[in-house]
Structure 1
Amino acid sequence: MPQLDTSTWFTTVCACSLALFILFQLELSRHNLPSNGSNKQLKIAKSTNPWELKWTKIYSPLSLNLL
């Protein structure tokens, strides 16, 4: 049975780790981050739905009196 040559594993692992680090840094550099770090005020639009105009009561099965 042949022996497993592990002499190149360290080089392979180091090269893959370096490549992944560089790719990750390139992906992060594509995003534009705010310079001042303050939160933006988000405007939430209120939408009117037809079911909001009606009053409905939902009965829970546990709250019903079972005889």
Structure 2
Amino acid sequence: MPQLNTSTWFIIITTTLPTLYLITQLKLLSMYYYQPPQQKNSHKQTPNNHWQLKWTKIYLPYSRPQ
């Protein structure tokens, strides 16, 4: 009965462990984690448009009384 050759086991085990570690690290780096929600700024800047200062009412043609 032939004996089991275990001379290469040490090399195989020592190379597979760092390889598995690197693969898991690369997988974790490629995952997208959601960022926690940020607080909104209470001072919202609005653009200075001249039409925002006026009160306007738009009458559509079909909404006028006949």
TM-score normalised by structure 2 residue count: 0.46
Normalising by structure 1, report the TM-score. 0.45
Q: Whose helix fraction is larger, Structure 1's or Structure 2's?
A: 2
